[in-house]
Structure 1
Amino acid sequence: MNAQRAQEKASLLYPYGVDEHDHKNPKLDDGTSKKLSLAVPFTFYSKKYQTLYVNNNGVISFDTPVKQYTPDPFPLADGRPFVTPYWGDVNNVLGGDIFYRESTDPTLLARITDDINQYFSKIPYTATWAFVATWDDVAYYGSTSNKGNTFQAVLTTDTKTSFIILNYWDIQWTTGVASDGDPETGLGGTPAHAGFNSGDETNFYNIPGSQTEAIINITKTSNVNVPGRWVFQVDDFKVTGVPPKVAVSNNCFL
């Protein structure tokens, strides 16, 4: 990676990996982290959660792990509340790592605070806690290629207001073979899904392009004018930065 690309990556993704003392998920197809207890409650769609799972297949779930590899349309009928930066059939046995950490590091919190204040200037906010999960160059199930995806989800709160930041650095595939994807291209079949499911069977949010071939372009889209970044207030969920040509109903893109 040349110096310019490295700088662009560092400006989009918050620091992660071994140097940040991140934990790492096991090398296991459809695997998950252990049940993680949070130091502070995180409010998501008006409910407070104090445990979560980082699931290999691109999902951060509250209360219960998610091993499902082919995404379903939102809202889910089974009431699972979760955030999905990129719900698809990851296989980290074939390549890549899933990192995560809980943090109160002042440098990280200051950077997150500056970003949130830039995007949500009317909401007073100073981050006091963050959870950073990063899927680093992860392969897809059944892959016969070297394609990998790198994306990140950041949960942050000041104990009252909660935000989620989704960062997409490099998306090279959309679909695993078990979801009818092509083993050489990682395309076709049922593509990945990005968004939120509240768990109440009513409120949900789909990032444009979800479960279509267009999701591979998520590195170029944004609701905060930063290509590859989507940011949402999620304690009392609000759609932010809706493109004018897209209709909105039930907190979702149509």
Structure 2
Amino acid sequence: MKPFSLFLLLISGAVVDFQPVREKESLLYPYGLDQHDQKTPKLDDGTSGKISLTTPFTFYGKEHQSLYVREPGLISCDTRVSQYTPDPFPLADGSPFVTPFWADVNNVMGGDVFYRQTTDPALLARVTEDINRYFPEVPYAATWAFVATWDNVAYYGSESNKGNTFQAALTTNTETSFIILNYWDIQWTTGVASDGDAETGLGGTPAHAGFNSGDETNFYNIPGSQTEAIINITKTSNVNVPGRWVFQVNDLELIGAPTEAPKVANSNNCWL
């Protein structure tokens, strides 16, 4: 805030909140049409076409050559996942997927879903720096990344102007794979078809965040999934950065997965 504006607020008797403000650019990787992203269609429960990967991505011990980005907060490997109301993991249908926020998104009512795969040196350098900070014991230099961003997306049946902004970044060096989940703004948890409230976007079956391997055995639920607590995911973390969750995902055992429920961040008090 400029000093003169701050002075006016103070003399007017307004209360000024001096709490630290997260910088959107520091949490989310760049996205949008200026980054040469593609968008999913403006269609309820829409999906991207099949995305053939220029570099295979290993997830839960299996190498994948293609992805689909689904409007309901899903990135699925090799096959589409059509469901919009989340089910508890593990799922028995054999679908491997990543879900930063599985809920009944409807971009017809607001928002966009962007995605791209990239070898842009600037982005790879930033991803590498982040991974090296969170996993200093793992030698890693990113050679490929896939970034999907749900930008200010609405929920099905919405009678509000609420929007969620979150992102999933997949990255590999062809041997080691990581997934970074970023949560900038979460204002709703549930669409009307999942028994949510049309005015609040809350209630019913809330969103799910985590990973499903497709083998009916290996999976991970980010704490708070399918409960009202998922709305606080912008304040929780497993790498001490509120709103960010990071996992090594190339083996059957996820590295970076906490075994206890996260604490809601209070200033700098964040789950480690």
TM range (shorter): over 0.9
Q: Shift of the alpha carbon at 1:67?
A: 2.0
Identify which of 169, 188, 199 aligns with 1:173.
188
Identify which of 57, 61, 64 aligns with 1:46.
61
Structure 1 runs of 4+ with >6 Å offset = 4-7
Q: 1:72-127: CA deviations, max 9, x gaps?
A: 00000111100000000000000000000010000000000000000000000000
**1:194 corresponds to which residue?**
209
**Residue type at the aligned position of 1:92:** N
Q: Are residue 10 (structure 1) and residue 25 (structure 2) matched?
A: yes
1:1-254 paired onto structure 2 within 5 Å: 8-236=23-251, 237-240=253-256, 242=258
Please identify the structure whose Cα radius of gyration is greater: 2
Give secondary structure in 2 for the equivalent of 1:122.
Answer: coil
**Residue type at the aligned position of 2:158:** S
Compute the TM-score of the two structures, normalised by the length of structure 1: 0.93
Q: Shift of the alpha carbon at 1:239?
A: 3.9
Tell me if the contact between 2:249 and 2:255 (Cα under 8 Å) persists in the aligned partners: no
Q: 1:41-73: CA deviations, max 9, x gaps?
A: 000001000101000000000111122110000
| Separation of aligned partners in 2, 1:244 and 1:212 | 16
Give secondary structure in 2 for the equivalent of 1:86.
Answer: strand
Tell me if the contact between 1:41 and 1:159 (Cα under 8 Å) persists in the aligned partners: yes
Aligned identity (percent) is: 77
CA RMSD of the aligned region, Å?
Answer: 1.8
Tell me if the contact between 2:107 and 2:154 (Cα under 8 Å) persists in the aligned partners: yes
**Residue type at the aligned position of 2:160:** S
Compute the TM-score of the two structures, normalised by the length of structure 2: 0.87
**Stretches of structure 1 lacking an aligned partner (at least 5 in a row):** 247-254
Tell me if the contact between 1:224 and 1:241 (Cα under 8 Å) persists in the aligned partners: no
Q: Shift of the alpha carbon at 1:196?
A: 0.1
| Separation of aligned partners in 1, 2:56 and 2:82 | 24
Tell me if the contact between 1:175 and 1:191 (Cα under 8 Å) persists in the aligned partners: yes
**Residue type at the aligned position of 2:152:** D
**Stretches of structure 2 lacking an aligned partner (at least 5 in a row):** 3-18, 263-272
| Separation of aligned partners in 1, 2:117 and 2:170 | 9
Tell me if the contact between 1:32 and 1:66 (Cα under 8 Å) persists in the aligned partners: no
**Residue type at the aligned position of 1:168:** Y
| Separation of aligned partners in 2, 1:58 and 1:12 | 18
